[in-house]
Amino acid sequence: MNRSSFRNWCNSGEPFVWLNAGAVSLSIIMVVGLILLIMARGLGHFWPSDVAAFDYTDSDGAVVALAGEFIDAESVPRARLAVGDARVPAYLDIIDRTLVRIGNRDYTGFDYRWVLDVAMHNLSYPAQIMVIERYEWGNFYGYLTAIKEDGAALHADPDWALFQRYIAASQQLLGEIRHIEKSLIGAVNYDMERLRLKERKLALDGAPEGSPAHTQIATQRVALQEKYDGYTDRLAGLYEQLNRPSFMARLADGREVELAFAKVVRAYRPNAMSVTDKVAFYFEKLWEFVSGDPREANTEGGIFPAIFGTVMMVMIMAVLVTPFGVVAAVYLREYAKQGPVTRLIRIAVNNLAGVPSVVYGVFGLGFFVYFLGGTIDELFFPESLPAPTFGTPGILWASLTLAILTVPVVIVSTEEGLSRVPRAIREGSLALGATKAETLWRTVLPMTASAMMTGLILAVARAAGEVAPLMLVGVVKLAPSMPLDGNFPFLHLDRKFMHLGFHIYDVGFQSPNVEAARPLVYATAFLLVLIIICLNLTAIKIRNRLREKYRAAEQH
């Protein structure tokens, strides 16, 4: 290619087309690669790894027996080890070491340990070694030796099926206990608190003691106390049954310990499991992660409350932001006199999108929580004071704060959609006798529906991942109860909630057990991305359906 042809080719703009195509392709590859990395690091955590048993020579020369899962491996220079470590041959400058999850934190003091490969001996994978997931103290690794009941050994060297039946019975009792404590006793306590607030309201209103309202409250309180006493008696019996059985297990170093079935989530022998068993176990753990409650400072168990809180907050935010954004866009485009003031308002709206999100959080805390929520408490909930009802961070204020944060996106998108509606359609509607309001409501706004949905899609994508403002206006590490339950009025917008973004921050940076939390950070991040994609795909599908509907109407 000569110089003239090359100049003509450059002037044609084709190089820039290829450059843009390459940039888009590279961006897609990077995004897909990032998602695949997060998915592999997170979802691989639920696969049941084999458990190794081996002898290990400590730095002081003592030999200890260890057992655990191999988690990670790395090569380090000799300089990072203790000077004069006799375990490392003199000719080695690079030493391989392995991170082992040895569990048994209540007996060893830590969950993970780095071991030198050259100091490991007699490595084996015994089929009888078991992994026990516990509600507290993390995993336990050891060998089952006996089952006890009321302190007496019933089964020495019990079979695995009998052990699993004891665990299943314990889980059933725990399920009944949780149902009584959270659902039945929780409902009684909720009703008792409502009676207390009714009684306090009567006192504030000056109702005399012994009035029919006081008598009715006293009667209801007696009935609720009887229900409460009945539930506590049932709980005492269930706890007695739960605490009877226990089992003996032997650690890798030979120590014999006693564990309660009440503390066991599940037990399995990964070295004896087939591939089919491991696949079934993997999906069981994955389902627990999606549908269960967190435990062990959020480093174990599931994240369902965080999923529920994220989706619910986004839905409330979408319901709040759409009307405000559409009304503001309609006013600016259709009613406001186009001049310096309107242009200044548009500039301000555009600049709002660049304000740091934590500033919105401060605004939400000051205006929504303290001012608006405090005023609502004084006007409608004086019987609850000084304990706040709406004058404290909650899911309503979090949703409103994010609605304010994302409303510029909806305004700009809706304005763009309104500007694309041909002027002839407005004039034709007015010529047929429709008012301006009827023209907007029946003709212009339906044709702008796809643009509104585009703004909502962008708003949802941003709001679902925000964390900084939520830390000020409602999100918590662990919510005692979800905003939606079976107690009237069922939807409690004043309650605090959990959020996937804050859960990632908390587990990743505030967890006392960093190694155990790391895979959950990846898994939660992947789930958050997946939820955002699902919400966006749903909105895109609705937008495309509306677009096709009104396109067909225009053709007719």
β-strand pairing of 112-116 with 120-124: unpaired
Q: Tell me: the pLDDT tens digits for 6-49?
A: 677 677 777 778 888 889 899 999 989 988 989 888 888 899 99
Q: Do 530 and 441 share a domain, yes or no? A: yes
Statement to judge: residues 449 and 551 lie in one domain: yes
- The pLDDT of residue 553: 52
Question: Cβ(196)–Cβ(141) under 8 Å?
Answer: no
What string of DSSP letters covers 415-474? Answer: HHHHHHS-HHHHHHHHHTT--HHHHIIIIIHHHTHHHHHHHHHHHHHHHTT--TTHHHHT
- Based on the fold, state whether residues 203 and 106 are members of the same structural domain: no
DSSP helix/strand/coil, 75: strand
Please report which confidence band the pLDDT of residue 84 belongs to, taking 50, 70 and 90 as the band edges. low
Question: What does the alpha-carbon distance between residue 42 and residue 435 come to, in Å, rounded to a whole number?
Answer: 57
- Which amino acid makes up residue 123? L
pLDDT band at 421 (very low <50, low <70, confident <90, very high): confident
Q: Which of 270-274, 362-366, 412-416 has the lowest mean pLDDT?
A: 412-416
Domain edge (last residue) among 141, 168, 184: 141
> Does residue 42 form part of some domain?
no
Q: Are residues 119 and 157 in the same domain?
A: no
CB 313 within 8 A of CB 402: yes
First to last CA, the chain: 53
* Angstrom distance (rounded) from CA 184 to CA 459: 39
Q: Respond yes or no on whether the N-terminal peptide bond of residue 446 is cis (omega within 30° of 0).
A: no
Compute the Cα dihedral for 25, 30, 540, 440 and give only its sign. Answer: negative
Q: Are 535 and 392 found together in one domain?
A: yes
Least confident of 141-155, 307-321, 464-478: 141-155
Domain with 185 in it: what CATH number? 1.10.287
Give the domain CATH number at 368: 1.10.3720.10
Q: Which has more pLDDT, 89 or 245?
A: 245
353, 493: one domain: yes
Asked if residue 173 belongs to a domain, the reply is: yes
Are 68 and 211 in a shared domain?
no
What is the arithmetic mean of pLDDT over 515-519? 82
Decide which of 433 and 177 is more confident: 177
Do 522 and 407 share a domain, yes or no? Answer: yes
Do 199 and 115 belong to one domain?
A: no
pLDDT, one tens digit per residue, over 283-333 is 999 999 999 888 887 888 889 999 999 999 999 999 999 898 999 888 888
CA proximity to 187, closest of 227, 220, 216: 227
**Residue 484: beta bridge partners?**
491
Residue 155: per-residue pLDDT = 66
Quick one: what percent of the chain has pLDDT higher than 70? Answer: 96
Q: Provide the pLDDT for residue 287.
A: 92
> Residue 289 falls within a domain, yes or no?
no
Residue 325 CA to residue 333 CA, distance in Å, equals 12
Distance of CA 387 to the CA centre of its chain: 28
Q: How far apart are CA 524 and CA 515, in angstroms?
A: 15
Number of domains the chain is built from: 3
1 pLDDT more than 60:
no
Quote the percentage of the chain above a pLDDT of 90: 38
In a domain, 7, yes or no: no
Residue 403 shares a structural domain with residue 479: yes
207-237 confidence digits (pLDDT tens): 888 788 888 989 999 999 999 999 999 999 9
Of 198, 228, 243, the position where a domain reaches its end is: 243
* Average pLDDT, integer, range 434-442: 85
Q: Are residues 100 and 193 in the same domain?
A: no
What average pLDDT does this structure show over 529-552?
79
At residue 127 the predicted structure's pLDDT band, cuts being 50, 70 and 90, is: very high
The answer to whether the bond into 386 is cis (omega within 30° of 0) is yes
- Position 9 in a domain: no
Crossing angle of helices 340-352 and 395-420, rounded to 10°: 130
Helix (H, G, I), strand (E, B) or coil at 182: helix
Per-residue tokens: 430: 């007015």
Tokens 């009877």 sit at which residue?
244
DSSP state string for 363-429: HIIIIIIIIIIHHHHHHH-GGGTTS-SSSS--HHHHHHHHHHHHHHHHHHHHHHHHHHS-HHHHHHH
Question: 274-304: string of b/e by CB count within 10 Å (b at 16+)?
Answer: eeeeeeebeeebbebbeebebbbbbbbbbbb
CA 199 – CA 197 distance, rounded (Å): 5
Domain that holds residue 228: 151-243
Domain end point (choices 213, 243, 273): 243
8 within some domain: no
Residue 31 domain flag: no
Nearest in space to 549 (alpha carbons), one of 458, 451, 449: 449
Q: What pLDDT does 316 receive?
A: 93
Residue 40 lies in a domain: no
H/E element, 482: none
Looking at the structure, tell me whether residues 452 and 371 fall in a common domain: yes
- The continuous run of DSSP H or E covering 232 comes out as helix 212-242
The mean pLDDT of the chain is 87
Average pLDDT over residues 151-179: 87
CB contact set of 71 (below 8 Å; sequence gap of 6+): 98, 99, 100, 101, 112, 515
Which residues are within 8 A (CB) of 420 and not within 5 positions of it... i.e. 6 or more apart? 448, 451
